[in-house]
Amino acid sequence: MATRILVPELGESVIEATVGHWHKSEGEPVTAGEVLVELETDKVDLEVGAERGGILARIERKEGEDVKIGDVLGLIEEVASNVKGASPARASGPAKAAGSGAPPPSPTTVEDPASRTAAVDSAHGPGKVEVSQASAEAVATPSARRLARERGVDLGQVPVKENGHRVTREDVESLAVASTVGVQPAPSILQTPASAAGVPAEKPMGGERREERMRMSRRRMTIAHRLVEAQHTAAMLTTFNEVDMAAVMELRKRHKDQFKERYGVGLGISSFFVKAAVAALRKFPRLNAEVQGDEIVLKHYYDIGVAVGAPEGLVVPVLRDTDRMSFAEIEIGIKNFARKAQDGTLSLADIRGGTFTISNGGVFGSLLSTPILNPPQVGILGLHKVQERPVSVGGQIVIRPMMYVALSYDHRIVDGSEAVQFLVRIKELVEDPAGLLLEG
């Protein structure tokens, strides 16, 4: 009896996915719960496992194909009970060999995976744990597996951390870099027949001219589509201001050690801007709204999206009900999102919704930019690099840590005066952090 491998529910508002990578080939044995295939959606990557053991009899949808919920990805055939304990390929092998007149393979040629893994362990010496390729695939994050395929890294050679964490993208990257150290090109590649005969080879006019073509991931395609859509559907405009960060920097300096000791996370600048944004949104509610047809939907809750860079592209996980969160809860939430983004473990619940977005390009060194709206939201606040600059304070030129801030907004429902006043309110609250306490 065949069991169908179906595309599962993909989450709220997600109906399509792209087949990313099959971990098994047709005819290979599978066990219940084993990951068979990865699906890429515009939000997160999902793993589809086997509901029961058997043989992967047929793959219906190839890598790169688009699928919908309920589509059949492949079929699993049950293993006959009379060959229990033997792999399907091994059980059918002798019969085929007998029919062709060829002798069956010797059972001594079958290598025990456990003994092979043990041999690898002993070869690498004590203190370094190695796992088989299949085991490494199981404990690696989706982004780590993807990078391993791109860089040609054997996941079985990646050391498994003793604390039991999954193999991450950084683990694969470290091994890839280490494996390239000291590698020299083969002499046969550098030596042409002419140079071998003592005749100087003609030098190329320039360096190597390589091109590489790769398929866009579904997330990258969605990012591209949404960014273009934002510029085509909204009357987008950006206003700028600058913030003196001296008070925040001094506050962080005084309390950073105590804060880290008490909450286990550093006191960053993002939490100050999240708090300031909530206070400003209360005063200017149209920036916490969206347009639906000819109606404006004002939202009286504050789910702030925080843009995070991830290997597959920018993602915007959402902090829920930020008006009820403390500074520590905001910092812990942002730190967890950053870790999940790198590991590829963000869930659909982490990134759905959101009423307003904050994007901090300053962590990458950006001094000034115009952020693009995250539809259907009508406002996004862009933070930038803190840089010491000469400014006038009380008629005196002094050096202060300054940050440019940018607010992009949908001019269809937000007037320029509202946007400017919103950004001024952000500036006032950050320059005087005590005001955030009065805002509650």
Using one digit for the tens of pLDDT, what is the confidence trace for 207-241?
788 898 887 877 778 778 888 888 888 999 999 99
325-to-26, 185, 274, 303, 330 alpha-carbon distances in Å: 51, 57, 10, 11, 6
Model confidence, pTM: 0.61
For residue 415, indicate whether it is catalytic. yes
> What's the confidence (pLDDT) of residue 180?
58
**DSSP state at residue 43:** S
Q: What is the DSSP string of 172-235?
A: HHHHHHHHHTT----HHHH--HHHHTTPPPPPPSSS-------PPPHHHHHHHHHHHHHHHHS-
Residue 379 maps to which CATH number? 3.30.559.10
Residue 113 tokens, joined:
């995976």
Residue range(s) defining the domain that contains residue 62? 1-99
Q: Which of 99, 125, 150 is the C-terminal boundary of a domain?
A: 99
> What's the confidence (pLDDT) of residue 83?
45
Are 158 and 282 members of one domain?
Answer: no
Which is nearest to 14 in space by CA: 349, 419, 338, 256?
A: 349
Q: List the catalytic residue out of 66, 321, 415, 432.
A: 415
Pure H helices in 208-347: 218-233, 246-263, 270-283, 327-343
Are 30 and 160 members of one domain?
Answer: no
Q: Which of 49, 73, 99 is the C-terminal boundary of a domain?
A: 99
Question: Helix or strand or coil: residue 52?
Answer: coil
pLDDT tens digits along 239-289? 999 999 999 999 999 999 999 999 999 999 999 999 999 999 999 999 999
Are 322 and 425 members of one domain?
Answer: yes
Q: Compute the distance between CA of residue 36 and CA of residue 280 in angstroms, rounded to an integer.
A: 48
Residue 231 tokens, joined:
């510029």
- Long-range Cβ contact pairs of 77-86 (< 8 A, separation 24 or more): 77/1, 77/2, 77/3, 78/1, 78/2, 78/3, 78/52, 78/53, 78/54, 79/29, 79/53, 79/54, 79/55
For residue 343, indicate whether it is catalytic. no
pLDDT tens digits along 97-113? 444 444 444 444 444 44
Are 323 and 432 members of one domain?
Answer: yes
Q: What is the DSSP string of 69-134?
A: TT-EEEEEEPPPGGGTTS-HHHHHHHHHHHHHTPPPPPGGGSPPHHHHHHHHHHHH-TT-----HH
Which is nearest to 44 in space by CA: 221, 219, 166?
A: 219
pLDDT above 60 (res 119): no
End-to-end CA distance of the chain: give it in Å, rounded.
Answer: 63
Count of domains observed in the chain: 3
Residue 367 lies in a domain: yes
Question: Helix or strand or coil: residue 258?
Answer: helix
Q: Which of 39, 65, 99 is the C-terminal boundary of a domain?
A: 99
Which is nearest to 285 in space by CA: 403, 382, 425, 383?
A: 425
Are 13 and 66 members of one domain?
Answer: yes
> What's the confidence (pLDDT) of residue 132?
53
Are 70 and 118 members of one domain?
Answer: no
Which is nearest to 17 in space by CA: 36, 35, 43?
A: 43
pLDDT above 70 (res 348): yes
Q: List the catalytic residue out of 165, 321, 411, 432.
A: 411
